[in-house]
Amino acid sequence: MFVVIGYAVALGCIFGAYALHGGNMGVILKALPTELMAILGGALGAFVVNNQPKVVKATMSALPKLLKGSKYTKARYMELLALLYDLLQKARKEGLMSIEKDVDTPHESAVFQKYATVGNDHHVVEFITDYLRMMVSGNLNAHEIESLMDSEIDTHHHEAHAPAAAIARLAGALPAFGIVAAVLGVVNTMGSVGQPPAILGGMIGSALVGTFLGILLAYAVAEPLAGLMEQKNDEGSKELQCIKTTLLASMQGYAPQVAVEFGRKVLYSTERPNFAELEAHVKGKK
């Protein structure tokens, strides 16, 4: 919703200012189809050449999600921490082997299914179960697991960053494609130099629309999308860091209620529940 509102404000103010200055919208509308064909067609082709198929696919998949609000809310984080608390509490009371079945078949686990929001998120469940499985096996110490977690989170961040980087590169190229479209318009105008001044003026105006559209699409459309995508990626990494901090605190001997407090502290302040909220939620889920 905010993305649509932002675009409406940006485009409305830009074209509104043009109209208030007495600008002729007909000139822009007349040139729009051909200029957009040159700019967007060239940009799309370059985008495909510049990125591997997996990055192109990931970008196409990520774009519709930008229109939705963030899924990383306070309620989600409270569910995540309550899930971790239940798993660690069960392991503490009944031994690590008691959670082996939960780890091996999380889709059948009563603990995971009690928290539907995060329990049905494949990436979160896989991250939790992979490291709980290592904890159950007892073959790795906390420092080794922390190093492995850092590597996985870093890999996750780089993979998630690829679409944002691709859109950012596209934003950087769009003004150049606008210039290409403008140059083609100037070439066309020079071939009609014998026409009356009024016609030549219209042709030059149409050519300049290409430069205008290239800059507009770059800085009012593509670059804001890249920035929003990067922010959403950071939120995904923050969730994994929360899980990492909680599990490592448990491995170092802290009680479950203290371990989830470690995890709570790494969250962004805007979504972080306070101590009382988290404690009430954990107790309410028992």
Is 54 inside a domain boundary? yes
pLDDT at position 154 is: 93
Model confidence at 153: pLDDT above 70: yes
pLDDT at position 189 is: 79
Domain count, the chain: 1
Q: For 134-146, how does the pLDDT look when each residue is reduced to its tens digit (9 = 90+)?
A: 888 777 788 889 9
Identify the domain containing residue 278 by its residue range.
25-286
Model confidence at 286: pLDDT above 60: no
Please tell me the pTM assigned to this model.
0.83
Let me know: does 88 contact 248? Beta carbons within 8 Å. Answer: no
Is 172 inside a domain boundary? yes
Q: What is the mean pLDDT of the chain?
A: 89
Is 4 inside a domain boundary? no
Q: For 209-243, how does the pLDDT look when each residue is reduced to its tens digit (9 = 90+)?
A: 889 999 999 999 999 999 999 999 999 899 999 99
Rg of the chain on CA atoms, in Å: 27
What are the angstrom distances between the C-alpha of 18 and each of 27, 81, 155, 183, 253? Answer: 12, 52, 46, 23, 66
Average of pLDDT values for 74-89?
93
pLDDT at position 191 is: 76
